[in-house]
Structure 1
Amino acid sequence: MWCRIGLSQTSAAAHYQSLKISFRSETMRASSLCLVFGLVLMMAWTSEAQPKAPAVPQNCCFNFIDFKIPTNKIVSAVKTSSRCPVPGIVVTTHRTRFCVKPAEAWIKAFMEKQLNK
């Protein structure tokens, strides 16, 4: 505080009582409440101000594997939505899901088998 008003350290100790700032608890409580209310109001206003983006389906493929999955490990294989930016096939195994390019020969054969069942 003595740096802001240009007092030396020794004179600051002597004038401590005269420079003492006291905050009442009511003032602090009201200030905090006002600050929190203002932040909540600003967050609500800015979230509504954002333009709505066109919905991207939940199961779109962006990264594709480059290896064959054994057909006995495949639980399901589903084509992605036509609204996805890149066509793909989501292959689910017991452990995880992979994205495969629809042009892969092994997935084409698997999908044809699935259709003929």
Structure 2
Amino acid sequence: MWCRLRLSQTTVITHYQSLKINFRSATMRASTLCLVFGLVLLMTWTSEATLAAGVPEKCCFKPIDFEIPPKKIVSAEKTNSICPKSAILVTTQKGLEFCVEPDEPWIKKVMENLDKNTK
């Protein structure tokens, strides 16, 4: 075959060996990539499992700047201490949730009334 292409036998062997080396390095790159991807996937999966126990369901980041009528409030509860900002999560009759600063005077009254009603 190499005679028809006017190639010497050493040229053909050199090309064959370089193809073998290229194939090996490509296979090695692919297996290394798969290994790295698998490790990243494993780390992501295990980190989510450990974080799930320490992350609260709801935190507040932007409190509202208006007052909600007390008769429309169904519940009001403090956010978890793990949350970055201390706030009160207010749920209305329609199921809407709002974040309120805990030092607002109107929410303090609402919290007192809700405590009295539950006792």
TM over 0.5: yes
2:39 is aligned to 45
1:73 is aligned to 72
Per-residue CA deviations over 1:45-91 (Å, capped at 9, x if unaligned) read 21223583753211111110000001111111111111111111100
Give SS of 2:82's match.
coil
Residue 43 of structure 1 and its aligned partner are, at CA, apart by 4.3
Query: How many angstroms apart in 2 are the aligned matches of 1:101 and 1:43?
Result: 44
Instruction: Give 5+ residue unaligned stretches, structure 2.
Output: 1-29
1:83 is aligned to 82
TM-score (norm 1): 0.58
TM-score (norm 2): 0.57
Q: CA RMSD in A?
A: 2.7
Query: Structure 1 runs of 4+ off > 4 angstroms?
Result: 38-43
Count of equivalent residues = 82
* Identical residues among aligned pairs (%): 44
Give SS of 1:109's match.
helix
